[in-house]
Structure 1
Amino acid sequence: MVINENYLLSAGAEIREYSAGTIIFHEGNSPLYFYQIIEGQIKLNNFTEDGKEFIQSIKSEGQCFGEALLFLEKPYPMSATALTHCTVMRLCKENFFSMLDIYPKLYRNVCLSMSDLLYYQYVMLQKNSSQNPADRLIGVMSYLKYNQKKQEPFSFKVPLTRQQLANLTGICVETAIRAIKLMEKNNIVMIKDRKIFY
């Protein structure tokens, strides 16, 4: 959890429910709120001119999203959409900064969250520059597994569909499926009940 919910509630945060597929904010909107997920998954995405979706990241319980844009006077360069039914805390920008002024130690939490986002983007830029689809997929899986207690092979159940993995790495789903089968053959992943373990 980036910021303890009690701080957010005392600063005036409201709890919002979003059903799967609901757009929380659109690319081009002005950032007006700090968002933190209580339950569910959110995707940050864009669409290319030909309508292909590119998922920038997927956020889940305890994570915030779009927070870095609150510090800039620039519109969102992506949209945020509920992947599943979600419960989200939403705090207006003005109250968010007032809360940080009252509790400066919370700046560290926000900085850690933004640093994690930067780390993810560096990893993904490096991996997505590879022409090898397996390298791209391994980049996503390695990042997701990074904070897990168990690091043994096949100890991490990848919480994404093959389509989501493809959209995160900029490859088509058919290529992702072939690459995952090859990764299974090479003992990089294990498939059990159609779930991927890395």
Structure 2
Amino acid sequence: MITSELLEKYTAVKKTFSKNETIFEEGNLPLYYYQIISGEIKMSNYNDDGREFIQGIFYKDQSFGEPPLFLNQKYPANAIAVEDSEIYMLPKANFMKLLEENPSISVKIIENLAQRLYYKSVMAAEMSTQEPEHRVLKLIDYGITHFDFKKDQNGYLINFTRQQIGDLTGLRVETVIRTIKALEKKGKLKIINRKVYR
């Protein structure tokens, strides 16, 4: 999203996080702008029963955790490395200065936040009214459009685990497994070597 040259000009540093390492915790005040160089990050929290709810999954060149940064509010979720990841961390004051001095970047950030808000609105409606098959396909199609899933002769490889699909759609993992099999029978998904393709 923001070029490495520009981030480094404003003193961003690279930091490596190991798989399952926490980047920030729910309830902390934001201090940095985060942008992924490599790896995968999830933002999630837990309900009273201990069930995880994934707020979002983020990949290379994507940023995460900005709304609390702009609002100076505590993080509503944890950010955790799904795999070994390298991230740019830019102090909040320097990030705000970067935006003030580079209006085109401000517009990009607004578009990015608007896209995420749109996704949340769509998925909130899906989760309250739609059947599991519809929810899963909606999430997968959104992922193909916005998460740069790779395409080969089998179709788009869906880079979500069954658990992540469940956590992102509010479905139990058992329901996700049954739903994916049903969608395969209907010819809407393919399962090849346990991997899901659209």
TM-score w.r.t. structure 2 length?
Answer: 0.94
CA deviation map 1:10-32 (0-9, x unaligned) = 10001010001011111111011
Q: Secondary structure at the match of 1:90?
A: strand
Mapping of residues 48-197 of structure 1, within 5 Å: 48-147=47-146, 155-197=155-197
Contact 2:149 2:157 in 1 (8 A): no
- Partners in 2 of 1:109 and 1:154 — Cα distance? 33
* CA distance 1:153–1:143, change in 2 (3 Å): farther
Amino acid corresponding to residue 171 of structure 1 in structure 2: L
Following superposition, the deviation at residue 68 of structure 1 comes to: 2.0
Contact 2:151 2:157 in 1 (8 A): no
* CA distance 1:44–1:182, change in 2 (3 Å): same
The percent of aligned pairs where both chains have the same amino acid is: 38
Runs of 4+ with >6 A deviation: 149-153
- Partners in 1 of 2:153 and 2:131 — Cα distance? 21
TM-score w.r.t. structure 1 length?
Answer: 0.94
The alignment's C-alpha RMSD in Å is 1.9
Matched residue, 2:33? 34
In the alignment, structure 1 segments of 5+ residues that lack a partner are none
* CA distance 1:192–1:80, change in 2 (3 Å): same
Matched residue, 2:23? 24
